[in-house]
Amino acid sequence: MKKDTQLLHAGRHPKDNYGIVNPPVYHASTVTFPTVDALYQADKNPTEGIFYGRMGTPTSRAFEEAVATLEGGDKAIAVQSGLAGITGAMLAFVKGGDHILVADSVYFPTKKFCNEFLSNFGVEVTYYDPMIADGIKSLIKDNTRLIFTEAPGSLTFEVQDIPAIAKAAHERDVLVMIDNTWSAGYYFNAFEHGCDVSIQAATKYIGGHSDIMMGTITLREEHYKMVKTKLNVLGYCAGPDDCYLAQRGLRSLPARLARHEENGLKMAAWLKERPEVTKVLHPAFADCPGHDIWKRDFTGSSGLFSIVLDGKYSPKAVAAMLDGLELFPMGYSWGGYESLIVPFNPKGARNVTTWVEDGACLRIHAGQESIDDLLVDLNSGFERLNKP
Ligand SMILES: *Cc1c(COP(=O)(O)O)cnc(C)c1O
């Protein structure tokens, strides 16, 4: 069956549940056992069975089954936030003395975790240019354990050549992880392109309504038990109501993404024609580094992209533009139904690449509003930019 059909059915078992369409929400810490023998039996296989709330409930397992279907992996693990997915996956695979390679354009808190935790635990971190492709070969050392990728990069949208990176990695027994949040696991099949672990902030498109915090780690069967066991030791888990909402979000993911994609493409095309805009960093547009790789490896685009304004505009003019927008409130996170905008400056967040643009950068999330209304609002923003 096609992915859209699978996504409507994955993780649901109405026959086991009075015919009710959606999985029930189990609120649970304690799971009781009638005999000593049953207790010991369950203790032998806690990563698969139902043993204790933190190890998973039928609610989290149902969601995880659906996410594995979405991402094309064997198993998924739900955790309490997207960042917990990143830190948990890395902590499960690395140990002191290992070396890891991390893209220079990753979500900034990923870097903070590497710099403020992993480095202190004796893990050596090297950042690499996201456009490196198979040039990554020269950075792989005998103790390199994993390469952490994110495509496209946070804020600046460089699309990495994941197949080339994965080929170089696998020749040296190095693991490839991806932060696959931008594609929602829907527009990019991480496993078919050589990734071993795919992480998402389900907070974003999977949840889709700006009302939950949730992360997912999707992986192959061979890694599942080890990672699940270690995450349990770390105390990572996801709450039942959030698992339920995230799974509900999955059912409408293809339909919502189609609308985000359409509005994102229309908005980016309109912005490209504006004289105030010098660059449109949207993977489907030629200005975006790695645009050709996006065309080759992705099946579509979500609603998140950035623009760079002409350097002649003062911070005051940019603030006048943004402060007066009605349909683009400023705020972090994205992937909900609504449009958002945030100013950012990549300069301080770079380790091995240099950000050369001098104009203000704006990240835009194209929501599901009518595109006509969104463009009217942006148009008034440009009027204020020019006459603050
Ligand atoms: C938001 C985000 C995260 C973190 O997710 P939280 O649920 O906010 O912890 C990780 N990676 C990317 C690319 C994100 O945009």
CATH code, 9 = 3.40.640.10
Q: From residue 8, how far is each of 127, 250, 253, 254 by CA, in Å? A: 39, 8, 9, 10
Q: Would you state the structure tokens that stand for residue 49, as one six-digit string?
A: 């069975």
> Is the pTM higher than 0.75?
yes
Q: Is the pLDDT of residue 185 over 90?
A: yes
- The reported pLDDT for the residue numbered 118 is 97
Verify that 264 and 241 share a domain, yes or no.
Answer: no
Verify that 189 and 231 share a domain, yes or no.
Answer: yes
CA atoms of 289 and 272, how far apart (whole Å):
16
328: domain CATH number is: 3.90.1150.10
Confidence of residue 191 (pLDDT cuts 50, 70, 90): very high
State which residues form the domain around 115: 3-251
Residues having CB within 6 Å of any atom of ligand 1: 81-83, 107, 154, 179, 181, 201, 203-204, 213, 215, 333
Q: For residue 84, which atom of ligand 1 is closest to its CA?
A: 9
Verify that 116 and 186 share a domain, yes or no.
Answer: yes
Nearest CA to ligand 1 atom 2: 201
Verify that 46 and 164 share a domain, yes or no.
Answer: yes
Averaged pLDDT, 280-305? 98
Q: Identify the CA nearest to 295 among candidates 156, 155, 188, 205.
A: 188
CA atoms of 195 and 179, how far apart (whole Å):
10
Averaged pLDDT, 157-180? 98
Verify that 271 and 123 share a domain, yes or no.
Answer: no
Q: Identify the CA nearest to 143 among candidates 115, 124, 121.
A: 124
Verify that 363 and 238 share a domain, yes or no.
Answer: no
Distance 237 CA to ligand 1 centre (A): 16
- The reported pLDDT for the residue numbered 348 is 86
Catalytic site positions:
54, 107, 179, 204
- The reported pLDDT for the residue numbered 383 is 98
Q: How many CA atoms lie within 13 A of 172 on its CB side?
A: 21
- The reported pLDDT for the residue numbered 48 is 86
User: Could you say which of 233, 251, 269 is where a domain stops?
Assistant: 251
Q: Is the pLDDT of residue 302 over 90?
A: yes
First to last CA, the chain: 54
User: Could you say which of 206, 223, 251 is where a domain stops?
Assistant: 251
How many domains in the chain?
Answer: 2
Averaged pLDDT, 254-264? 98
- Signed CA dihedral, 349, 352, 356, 361: sign only: negative
Verify that 37 and 144 share a domain, yes or no.
Answer: yes
- The reported pLDDT for the residue numbered 141 is 98
Verify that 133 and 96 share a domain, yes or no.
Answer: yes
Confidence of residue 56 (pLDDT cuts 50, 70, 90): very high
Verify that 239 and 265 share a domain, yes or no.
Answer: no
